[in-house]
Amino acid sequence: MISPCLSVNQQGHLDISGCDTVDLARQYGTPLYVMSEDEVRRACRSYAASFQKYYGGNGRPIYASKAFSCKEIYRIVVSEGLDVEVVSGGELYTALQAGVPGKKLHFQGNNKSAGELRLAVENGVGDIVVDNLLELSMLQQAAKEHGVRAGISLRVKPGIDAHTHEFIRTGQVDSKFGLDLQNGEALEAVKQALAAENLELRGLHCHIGSQILEKEPFVHAAEVMLDFYGLLRRELGVTLKHLNLGGGFGIHYKEEDAAIPYEEYMEVVSAAVHRKCGELDLPQPFIYIEPGRSIVGEAGITLYTVGAIKEIPGVRNYVAIDGGMFDNPRYALYQADYTCLIANKADRPADYTATIAGKCCESGDLIQEHAPIQKPETGDILAVLSTGAYNYSMASNYNRNLKPPCVMVSQGSSRVIIKGETYEDLVRNDI
C-alpha cells in the first residue's frame, strides 16, 4: 500500500488505521472522505523531529491548510507543535474558531482584501505575508487604525521553474504570486516595509510550486533567497529574523511515483542553508517550511459506491460512482494520477481496466482513466487513495450535489469531523 495507514484485513477488505472501509461505508454512507489521525500525527512528528536534527530546533514546520481545512485538523496540527498557514479570510476564521492562537498563524494569499487584512490585524496574526506593494500600503493603514505594529514577511519570487504541472508552479518570474527579485520590486518592497511605522518586517517567504518530486529546486530556492538576505545586510544594514522556504513536497499517488522522503528534502536543504550562511557570514535565520499535501495527502482516502458499469468493446469500461468532480476535481483540472481499488475485494488481483466516471453531467467528469482495479460489480465500494489533500478543500456543489461528510479514524475507532450536507443546506441561502 502507498500509505502506512492502509492495509488489507482478514476479510480481504481495505483497512485504514484499524477501521474496515466497507464497515465505514455502511455506517456513514458514500461518498465519504476518510482521514487517518494516526498518519497525520506521524507526519507532523516527523517534520518536527527533522527540524531538531537538521536545524538544532532553529525552525518550525507550518501546516499549509489550503490542502485540507477544518476545525479538527487545525486542532490536531497545533497540538503537535506546528504553526498554521491560512490563505483566505475563511481559512483564518476557521482556524480562530478552532482555537488557534493568532501568534501561531501565517496569513498568505496574493490579493487579500481590506476586510481580510483587518481581520488579521484585529486577531494578532503573527506573520502576515505581504504579496504586493498595494497590500503593503493597505496593511500599514489597517495596522495604524488599530494602533498596533503588525509583524510581516514579504513573498518573493526566486525565479525558479519547478518541474511540476503548470497550474501549480508558483516560483517562476511569470507568476501571479510574490515580488520580483530580478526587476528590483522585492528590494523596493523591503525599503517601503522598513519605512512603514506600523509594520515590522521580520522575514521573507518563497514558494516554488506543489507536488515537486525533485530536491534540487528547493536547494536552489534556499540559495537564491539567502543571497538576497546577504544583499539586504550589505546595502541596507538589515538582518531579517526568519526565512520561510515554502512547501510543495511530493507524495505517492501511485506506487511508481518517485516521491522523495521528506527527511531527504530536509537534509539537503539544511546543508545548503548552513553552507550559504557561512559563505555570506550571515547568522542563520529561523527557518520555516510549509508542508500541506505531505501531511494530509496520504492520510486520506475517499469511498464511493459503484453504480452502473458500461463495457464498450474495443473502447473502454466505464465504472460509475456516486461521487465525481464535485468532491474531487483534480483529474478534471490537471489529470491527476490516483490509485483506485475495490475496497471489498482488496485481496484480489487488479486485473480489470476501468475509467472511473462521476455522476455530474459533464463528459470530463472522471476520477481516473484506464485504472487497474479488481473486477467490479454494482454495489461494490470503490476506494480512491491519497485524497487527503485538495479534495474536500476544492469540493463544490456543482449540479447541486452535496459535499460528503468526513470522518477521522484512529486505532480502530472513527468519528465525524465534518457533517455531510443536506438538501436543506443547499437552499439555506436562497431567497
What residues act catalytically?
Answer: 361
Give CA–CA dist 306/355, Å, rounded: 12
Question: Which residues neighbour 205 within 8 Å (Cβ) at sequence distance 6 or greater?
Answer: 108, 129, 153, 154, 155, 156, 243, 244, 246, 288
Can you tell me whether residue 187 is helix, strand or coil? Answer: helix
Nearest to 206 by CA among 231, 160, 171, 182: 171
For residue 125, the Cα-to-chain-centroid distance in whole angstroms is: 20
What separation, in Å, do the N-terminal and C-terminal C-alpha atoms of the chain show?
48
Residues making up the chain, counted from first to last: 431
Strand segments (E) across 71-168: 83-86, 105-107, 127-130, 150-157
Find out whether 418 and 392 touch, Cβ atoms under 8 Å.
yes
C-alpha cell at 116: 481580510
Cis peptide bond prior to 31, omega within 30° of 0: yes
Residue with cell 538582518: 239
Among positive and negative, which fits the CA dihedral 333, 252, 215, 46? positive
CA quadruple 23, 27, 30, 35: dihedral sign: negative
State how far the Cα of 77 lies from the Cα of 107, in Å rounded to an integer.
Answer: 16
Residue 44 C-alpha cell reads as 507532523
Type and span of the H or E element at 409: strand 406-410
- 256: Cβ–Cβ under 8 A, 6 or more apart, which residues? none
Report the sign of the C-alpha dihedral through residues 38, 44, 48, 51, in that order: positive
Q: What is the DSSP string of 367-396?
A: EEEEEEEPPP-TTPEEEEES-SSSSGGG--
